[in-house]
Structure 1
Amino acid sequence: AATVAGLAGAFADSVLGATVQAMYRCRVCGSETERAAHCGPPAELVRGLRMMTNDLVNLCASVFAGLLATGLGLWFGG
């Protein structure tokens, strides 16, 4: 259960990071970043949801993995 849930959590983290995580482009240096401000001024949102930070993506993936592990443990170990 732990192995399956861990792999599923890592996959969920990757999918959420690639689809809904906020990514910004710095208006000063042009680099892409996860931070809303870079080189001083606010960066421009280029994709994702403003509220979906990397920390929130990690939290969602961890909660998903924990719930999956609990469910699998109850189902098979029960």
Structure 2
Amino acid sequence: MAKKVRPTDANQLAKLIADIATGEQPNTPPEDTKNPAAVALGRLGGLKGGNARASKLTPEQRKEIAQKAAAKRWKKD
């Protein structure tokens, strides 16, 4: 989904704000064009994915994965 990005240049941004304030340019957010059925299906898969993976792992494997994640999380650069 393409999102409109506001200009980063201060002068262009000021002109855009002035145009919106005077009504020369509409200030409407982009429409949500996602298919609701596809969103629901993707969410369904996302909800069961982690639990399905965890049920297939042994406690030792889960511990190893958790320790590796904690080491990455708290690693000092």
Structure number with bigger Rg? 2
Return the TM-score normalized by structure 1.
0.29
Query: RCO higher in 1 or 2 (8 Å CA, sep ≥ 6)?
Result: 1
Return the TM-score normalized by structure 2.
0.29
